[in-house]
C-alpha cells in the first residue's frame, strides 16, 4: 500500500490503529521506494546569501 502512494495515515485508519507507531510496526518500505522518494528538503528553494 505504501509503495503505491497510500498515505500511512490512511493505512492507520484502515487498520483501526489509534497510534501511528502501531501502524509503523506493520509496514515495510522497500529500499527501492526509499531511493525513488524525493526528500522534502530537496524541494525547498533556498537561496544562500553570504553575510556582509
Q: In this model, does residue 1 exceed pLDDT 90?
A: no
* Predicted local confidence at residue 43, as pLDDT: 80
Q: The domain containing residue 22 runs over which residues? A: 2-37
Residue 47 belongs to a domain: no
* Predicted local confidence at residue 29, as pLDDT: 65
3-state class (DSSP) for residue 3: helix
Residue 42 belongs to a domain: no
Q: In this model, does residue 50 exceed pLDDT 90?
A: no
d(CA 32, CA 49): 35
d(CA 27, CA 45): 32
* Predicted local confidence at residue 37, as pLDDT: 82
Q: In this model, does residue 4 exceed pLDDT 90?
A: no
8-43 tens-digit pLDDT: 888 889 889 999 888 887 776 666 777 788 888 788
| Number of domains composing the chain | 1
d(CA 28, CA 8): 11
Query: Long-range CB contacts (< 8 A, 24+ apart) of 34-42?
Result: none
Amino acid at each position: 500500500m505504501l509503495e503505491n502512494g497510500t498515505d500511512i495515515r490512511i493505512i492507520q485508519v484502515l487498520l483501526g490503529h489509534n497510534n501511528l507507531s502501531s501502524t509503523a510496526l506493520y509496514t515495510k518500505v522497500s529500499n527501492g521506494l526509499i531511493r525513488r522518494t524525493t526528500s522534502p528538503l530537496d524541494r525547498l528553494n533556498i537561496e544562500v546569501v553570504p553575510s556582509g
